[in-house]
Amino acid sequence: MFSSVMDIFVHRTPNLKRLILDSNPSTAFPWTQLAHLTLVPDNMAIEKMGVLRKCTNLTSLDIRDFVMQNRNENSGLFVDLESISESPIVCSKMEVLTIRWHLPTDAPADSSKHSIFRFLSCPSLKILHLRNYYSNWCSTQSSWAHFDTFMAFSKRSSFRLTSLSIDSVPMSDSNLLHLLSRIPTLLDLTLMWNTVL
């Protein structure tokens, strides 16, 4: 139903630049006109990755870190995570990326396979916000499970980051120092509570 509601906007919003989406996307929507996109589903389904490939003019993206995969291989929606990560989505114009981190309780042991960082390359990235999905939630994890996946994303993207904010994402001292040593272009750094363990 939501897709048909979105279809109503297809030819009526030629100047739309910012969209906050919390349901299934419409394939007919003119994704290329968007500059700012926020995807806010409770379960970021892998099927929505196709939307990102269509958003060729994005300059900012706000998205959850953990990507869910449809586990039913017989459904028409099944997409293999490995096939998606083999050719990451290149967001060549993206300058601002906000990642809302949260590890679901039913996450697989190797949750890094589900990190959004596996699926993106952002060579023009200047500003990165890493935020806890629940702003008032205190993690019991000893460190951010997707740190290595993020570092691989950083290397693949070769961006020149100037601003970094880490808000309530658990990170060890050594990981934080390693991260900072890889960003010599950094001008602004914000660290909020419970970020360094």
Q: Is residue 83 in a domain?
A: yes
Q: Is residue 41 in a domain?
A: yes
Instruction: Please give the residue that has the higher pLDDT: either 136 or 18.
Output: 18
Q: Is residue 196 in a domain?
A: no
Handedness of CA 170, 124, 47, 25 (dihedral sign): positive
Are the beta carbons of 121 and 149 closer than 8 angstroms? Answer: no
Q: What is the pLDDT of residues 30-48, one digit of tens each?
A: 888 899 988 765 444 545 5
Residue 131 pLDDT greater than 70, yes or no: yes
Q: Is residue 137 in a domain?
A: yes
Q: Is residue 122 in a domain?
A: yes
Instruction: Please give the residue that has the higher pLDDT: either 8 or 138.
Output: 8
Rounded Cα–Cα distance for residues 177 and 146 (Å): 16
Q: What is the pTM of this model?
A: 0.79
Domain span holding position 184:
2-191
Q: How many domains does the chain have?
A: 1
CATH number at residue 28: 3.80.10
Q: Is residue 197 in a domain?
A: no
Among all chains, which residue has been given the structure tokens 């997409």?
79
